Amino acid sequence: MTTLTDTPDRRQAAPMAPTVVQIALGDRSYPILIGAGLLADPATWAPQANRKSVALVVTNTTVEPLYAATLAQALSPHFTRVRTLALPDGEVHKDLANLNLIFDELLGQEADRRTVLYALGGGVVGDMTGFAAACYMRGVPFVQVPTTLLAQVDSSVGGKTAVNHPLGKNMIGAFYQPRQVVCDLAVLDTLPDREMSAGLAEVIKYGASIDIDFLGWLERHIDALRARDRAALAHAVKRCCEIKARVVGADEKEAGLREILNFGHTFGHAIEAGMGYGAWLHGEGVGCGMVMAAALSARLGLVDEAFARRIESLVARAGLPVRGPASLAPGRYLELMRVDKKAQGGDIRFVLLTGEGHATVRTAPEAAVVDVIAALTAA
């Protein structure tokens, strides 16, 4: 479990008017609100208001004492009643057993199809709440309220919901879009440094594989982001959401283009599963995975070695690991990567760089993959 700490000096910063990024998906379109002070403002939640329905805030035991009461109070003018369910905290609890706790609460409260679920937490809470919303009565509305940087820039946007299985990460799930995403930058003030760095992995991903200008901006502002500079965070979250909105709008269900957003994830998911969920944070696996994917790209002659080293340097500056765990052998990586969602017919497919800010999805010779893992494994 990760412990969050309150830092009042940061939380007293002046309110920030929200910026809106729109996800264009026809009748499933929705806004992403980015600003500070949004959580406590009842006006934020007016679009889903229904005085004849119930709101269920799904959170975890770490976030609940910090923000659940604030959100419940802001929601209370809009619903008949507001309930809160706190799940155990951590990736290790992202499974079917804990998903069932959400269904128990919904059925116990006789929730109907007008009930709105609010996912207040990081990626685990968001994925589980979204999956529950997709399944309950074959679909009820839900809203993403991400409280980690990783969730604000990535997992809360785009409608990918899932739980883990012991044999693979996010292998049981559904595409199901939220009605709204609310990114309150003020909640990042209570995020532990390790979680902040983990979120930066997903931020770096967008620059390395899609937007080279953004990568340059990150290199100049990575220290400000780690220090939680409000203006730097606002720009980074907005730019990441803009990129993801464009990709999701073109490929909602990951049939092609959207796979590029998994840069670093094939290696990263293998590390997470191989070490046991929760030993490495998702962003830590992705950070190290990006270093491995960039090195593999260079090994195959798809990108200059200098660019691969540039990615490694930025990942290290973000406070992320750039070497895989010594206890995980290359053969174990291969076993786990064969059950990755991008794998086809047992062939492992990687998101590899083809230039600065460009990527593609393709297979790679197994010998080259093994060599890269061996070279980038901690001694």
Residue 177 token pair: 């879009």
Angle at 195 (CA atoms; ends 30, 152), nearest 5 degrees? 10
139 is in an annotated binding site: no
199 is in an annotated binding site: no
Closest CA to 152 of 91, 89, 228, 93: 228
DSSP secondary structure, 33-95, as one string: EEEES-TT-GGGGGGG-EEEEEEEEEEETTTIIIIIHHHHHHHGGGEEEEEEEEEPPSGGG-S
Burial 148-170 (b: 16+ CB within 10 A, else e): bbbbbbbbbbbbbbbbbeeebbb
DSSP secondary structure, 129-198, as one string: HHHHHHHGGG---EEEEE-SHHIIIIITSS-EEEEEETTEEEEEEEE---SEEEEEGGGGGGS-HHHHHH
Domains 8-190 and 193-375 in one fold: no
**pLDDT one-digit tens code per residue, 150-181:** 999 999 999 999 999 988 888 899 999 999 99
- Give the integer Cα–Cα distance in Å for 378 and 251: 37
211 is in an annotated binding site: no
- pLDDT for 127 equals 97
- Give the integer Cα–Cα distance in Å for 376 and 379: 9
Q: Any idea which residue has 């786990």 for tokens?
A: 336
284 is in an annotated binding site: no
235 is in an annotated binding site: no
Closest CA to 269 of 174, 339, 323, 316: 339
160 is in an annotated binding site: yes
Global pTM reads 0.91
Q: Spell out the domain ranges in the chain.
A: 8-190, 193-375
Residue 150 token pair: 């990783």
Q: Which fold has domain 193-375?
A: Dehydroquinate synthase-like, alpha domain (1.20.1090)
Known catalytic residues? 138, 160, 202, 244, 254, 258, 262, 265, 269, 282
Compute how many other C-beta atoms are within 10 angstroms of the C-beta atom of residue 304.
Answer: 14
- pLDDT above 90 for 235: yes
Contact between 90 and 1 under an 8 Å Cβ cutoff? The reply is: yes
Average pLDDT, the chain: 93
- pLDDT above 50 for 4: no
Domain 8-190 class in CATH: alpha beta
Q: Any idea which residue has 């393709």 for tokens?
A: 362
Q: Any idea which residue has 């990951």 for tokens?
A: 254
- pLDDT above 80 for 2: no
Cβ-proximal residues to 159 (8 Å cutoff; 6+ apart), any chain: 28, 130, 175, 176, 177, 178, 248, 252
**pLDDT one-digit tens code per residue, 95-143:** 999 999 999 999 999 999 999 999 999 999 999 999 999 999 999 999 9
- pLDDT for 362 equals 94
- pLDDT for 5 equals 36
Residue 279 token pair: 């030993």
- Give the integer Cα–Cα distance in Å for 182 and 35: 8
- pLDDT above 50 for 253: yes
Indicate the pLDDT class of residue 16, thresholds 50, 70 and 90.
Answer: low
125 is in an annotated binding site: yes
The DSSP 8-state label assigned to residue 1 in this structure reads -
